[in-house]
């Protein structure tokens, strides 16, 4: 500080001298010089006083990229916003990983994979409002799957990584007229075989049997040769899945009913009726659907549906069924589930289920496929996560061959964000 004071004094004295020299000769008297000297001494005294005063440290400069919301110990700052101020943008997704230990009757193996029932995915959704009646939005949803449990079997050293489009669409909705969707997304009949209030269907014990142990092959009892895989032996005829389509949904009417129809790339069409309501303390959800594949490969037409009922005490029952015209033959499936949901601890709901699936003539004429499972899902609300474990058994035979059962345990978690 003394160095700063000395330099300041020198600058002030220099300024005073220059001021004195700039005065006319007649004004350069001793009294005027003394007056300037007094001014300099007064300024030096004020500087010394400021130096002795306690200093307040300056805060950090304001960030040019301040978060949209204030972060605290439990909440991260919001870092996603739309480039258009009129549109609300939401980033979400999940990680769904599983470990499977399975046996095909001759060999056993462990599989580390992405649970195809609750695959890892990333989603960007936007929504904008015109007025109280009109809204519009977009969805981009990508599946980022490493070693999908639908395709990964025994002896795989490294699971295949894939990025698949689930949804690339926009929609426009009017409160009284319904919603119109355009792009890649759910057809009108997608998930109509999977209506389920058990709290387990998006993870385990699901009517889509091939989603979890799907890559494992049935082994011929006599020759040990590998036959059809689990994924190819079972099918729940769940509509036309996701396609490039135009879809229309009516508003909900009649206490919980909704109609949907869609037209897909390639000419396939479908329609569905859905029902969601609460009757007293009992929740009821159901769907029935019809699809015409318009001679595309796979099948001609199919009819399918499902219903689920959850009682106030936590017990629930679910059923699904469908039939598909494969051309030379028809294939049918039946599915049933009994479950119980309860909040046994403060961390979140616990769900327990037992299910059974049977199907005829799907992979080949005369094929008989059956599966059953028991499962448990524990939700941890604080983690936004679901942990699960399930045992499932699969059996498959044809008119000309008998195969060993495929059975095993799957356990893992889905972490949502």
What pLDDT, in 10s, does the model give residues 156-191? 766 678 899 999 999 999 999 999 999 999 999 999
Mean pLDDT of the chain: 86
Question: Which is nearest to 303 in space by CA: 217, 237, 390, 234?
Answer: 237
The CA-atom distances, in angstroms, between 277 and each of 252, 309, 314 are 10, 10, 16
Query: pLDDT for 298-334, tens place per residue?
Result: 899 999 999 999 999 999 999 999 999 998 999 999 9
Amino acid 33: pLDDT: 56
| Beta-bridge partner residues of 289 | 272, 304
3-state secondary structure of 205: coil
pLDDT at residue number 81? 66
Query: For residues 111 and 109, what is the distance between their CA atoms, to the nearest angstrom?
Result: 7
pLDDT digit string, tens, across residues 220-264: 999 999 999 999 999 999 999 999 999 999 999 999 999 999 999
Q: In this predicted structure, what is the pLDDT of residue 230?
A: 98
Q: What is the pLDDT of residue 22?
A: 42
| Predicted local distance difference test score (pLDDT) of residue 298 | 83
Residue 43 — very low, low, confident or very high, per pLDDT cuts 50/70/90?
low
pLDDT (average), residues 47-51 = 61
């Amino acid at each position: 500080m003394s160095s700063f004071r000395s330099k300041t004094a020198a600058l002030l004295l220099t300024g005073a001298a220059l001021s004195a020299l700039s005065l006319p000769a007649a004004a350069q008297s001793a009294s005027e010089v003394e007056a300037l000297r007094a001014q300099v001494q007064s300024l030096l005294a004020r500087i010394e006083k400021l130096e002795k005063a306690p200093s307040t440290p300056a805060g950090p400069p304001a960030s040019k990229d301040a978060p949209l919301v204030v972060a605290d110990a439990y909440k991260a700052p919001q870092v996603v916003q739309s480039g258009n101020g009129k549109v609300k943008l939401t980033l979400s997704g999940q990680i769904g990983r599983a470990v499977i230990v399975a046996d095909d009757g001759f060999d056993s193996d462990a599989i580390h994979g992405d649970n195809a029932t609750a695959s890892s995915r990333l989603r960007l959704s936007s929504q904008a409002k015109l007025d109280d009646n009109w809204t519009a939005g977009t969805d981009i949803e990508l599946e980022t799957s490493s070693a999908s449990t639908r395709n990964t079997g025994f002896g795989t050293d490294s699971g295949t990584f894939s990025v698949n489009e689930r949804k690339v669409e926009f929609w426009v909705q009017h409160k009284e007229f319904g919603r119109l969707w355009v792009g890649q997304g759910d057809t009108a009949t997608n998930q109509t075989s999977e209506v389920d209030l058990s709290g387990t269907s998006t993870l385990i014990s699901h009517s889509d049997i091939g989603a979890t142990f799907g890559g494992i092959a049935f082994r011929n009892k006599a020759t040990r040769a590998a036959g059809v895989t689990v994924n190819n032996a079972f099918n729940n005829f769940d509509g036309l899945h996701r396609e490039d389509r135009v879809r229309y949904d009516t508003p909900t009417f009649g206490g919980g009913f909704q109609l949907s129809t869609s037209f897909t790339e390639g000419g396939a069409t479908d329609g569905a009726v859905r029902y969601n309501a609460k009757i007293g303390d009992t929740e009821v959800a159901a769907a029935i659907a019809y699809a015409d594949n318009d001679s595309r490969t796979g099948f001609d037409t199919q009819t399918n549906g499902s219903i689920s009922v959850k009682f106030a005490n936590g017990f629930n029952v679910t059923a699904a069924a469908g039939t598909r015209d494969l051309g030379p033959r028809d294939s049918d499936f039946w599915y049933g589930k009994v479950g119980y949901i309860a909040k046994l601890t403060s961390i979140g709901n616990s769900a327990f289920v037992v299910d059974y699936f049977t199907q005829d003539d799907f992979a080949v004429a005369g094929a008989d496929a059956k599966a059953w499972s028991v499962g448990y899902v524990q939700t941890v609300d604080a983690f936004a996560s679901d942990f699960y474990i399930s045992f499932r058994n699969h059996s498959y035979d044809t008119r000309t061959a008998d195969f060993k059962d495929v059975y095993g345990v799957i356990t893992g978690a889905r972490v949502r964000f």
